[in-house]
Amino acid sequence: MQLRNLGKSGLRVSAVGLGCNNFGNKIGLEESRAVIHAAFDNGITLFDTADTYGNKGGSETIMGQILGDRRKDIVLASKFCAVMDEAKEWKGASRRYVMHAVEASLKRLKTDWLDLYQLHRPDPLTPIEETLRALDDLVRQGKVRYIGCSNLPAWQVVEAQWTSRSLGLESFVSCQDEYSLLVRGIERDLMPAMQSYGLGLLPYFPLASGLLTGKYRRGETPAAGTRFAHMTQLVERYLTEKNFARVEALEAFVRKHNRNLLELAFSWLAGRPAVASVIAGATTPAQVEQNVRAAGWTLGAEELAEIDAITA
């Protein structure tokens, strides 16, 4: 497994990371244990979770029960800001909430520190300076080693970096955003901003919520048990005529090279500028192994140009 620096920071992460959103949601303790140990065995060092994953705390709780002494061997990342209660009051990026959220995450994870603590989404009610001052305090206290953000538009990332630099505060070292062969919108504004500030990219949904697995077909109803079958809000976004045409063209491309869509999706992302680690969830050890193996294809300039003609 290749290790890469996360942006311009000294934090080293595996080129493929494990997304832990399935723990406590799709799979329970023992299935999660098998997935985590498969990640260890395949060289994955970045484990990415959030306080909301696994029905509000379930993912972190399960990880806390499993990691044990292996905690010190991994880069453990979590997030804060999203709603954590039914009344929708426990949320946000205020100093009050950040200090509460980090203690709750540390307790669930049974650890004294987080390697990467990420603002999960924008909080329009809290000035970014307040959030950054709180995160700076956590770094100084040793509870957090590095900080990052997720799902922020380019202008807010720039504002955050400028604020940190001008006030002498800890700066974000990474952005975690949706990015795949079928979802390339961040290339317009966010990626140039990230490259300018030396931020690392942690792309999630590398398979476009499963569309890049090839198991969905034009005109066919999604099979029972698949993501699109039970998350109907995703259907209009992903299962479009344009996307089906792209997938069919990409399938022809990989056949020509004796590869498969999974290999193309992971290897293309792993070779993109600023990408440090491709975040991929898994529900079985076999999926972990497939994801790791899939990132080994080095695409040449002509191949990349052909892919751009299909997807850009």
Domain ranges of the chain: 3-209+261-298
- The mean predicted confidence, pLDDT, of the chain is 92
Mean per-residue pLDDT for 93-98? Answer: 96
Q: What is the pLDDT of residue 268?
A: 95
The residue with greater pLDDT, 24 or 222, is: 24
Interval 249-299: pLDDT, tens: 999 999 999 999 999 999 999 999 899 999 999 999 999 999 999 998 999
- Non-local (6+) Cβ contacts of 238 within 8 A are 182, 208, 209, 211, 228
- In this predicted model, which residue has the larger pLDDT, 69 or 240? 69
Task: Output the pLDDT for position 213.
Answer: 83
Q: Taking residues 146-162, what's their average pLDDT?
A: 97
Tens of pLDDT, residues 53-67: 999 999 999 999 999
HEC per residue, 189-208: CHHHHHHHHCCEEEEECCCH
**pLDDT tops 70 at residue 234:** no
- Which pLDDT value is given to residue 232? 62
Give the tens place of pLDDT for each residue, 113-145.
999 999 999 999 999 999 999 999 999 999 999
- What type of residue is 239? L
pLDDT tops 90 at residue 220: no
Confidence band for 1, pLDDT divided at 50, 70 and 90? confident
């995703």: which residue's tokens? 234
In whole angstroms, how far apart are CA 57 and each of 86, 93, 120, 135, 202?
13, 18, 14, 21, 22
Quick one: fold of 3-209+261-298? TIM Barrel (3.20.20)
Decide which of 269 and 209 is more confident: 269
What radius of gyration, in Å, describes the C-alpha atoms of the chain?
19
Min mean pLDDT across 44-53, 62-71, 158-167, 202-211 is at 202-211
* DSSP H or E segment with residue 131: helix 128-141
Report the predicted TM-score, pTM, of the whole model to 2 decimal places: 0.92
> Mean per-residue pLDDT for 166-171?
97
Q: Is the pLDDT of residue 21 over 90?
A: yes
User: What pLDDT is attached to residue 214?
Assistant: 72
pLDDT of residue 233: 63
Which of 53, 117, 179, 197 is the catalytic position? 53
Q: Span 11-26, mean pLDDT?
A: 95
Q: How far apart are CA 216 and CA 220, in angstroms?
A: 7
Detail the DSSP E strand segments found in the chain. 3-5, 12-14, 16-19, 46-48, 75-80, 114-119, 144-150, 172-178, 200-204, 278-281
Whether residue 211 is predicted with pLDDT greater than 70 in this model: the reply is: yes
Q: What percent of the chain clears pLDDT 70, i.e. is strictly above it?
A: 93
In this prediction, residues 180-185 reach a mean pLDDT of 94
pLDDT at 88: 79
CB atoms within 10 A of CB 133: 17
Per the model's pLDDT, the better-predicted residue between 210 and 125 turns out to be: 125
210 half-sphere exposure, CB direction, 13 A CA radius: 17
pLDDT at 235: 64
As a whole number, mean pLDDT of residues 230-244 equals: 72
53 is catalytic: yes
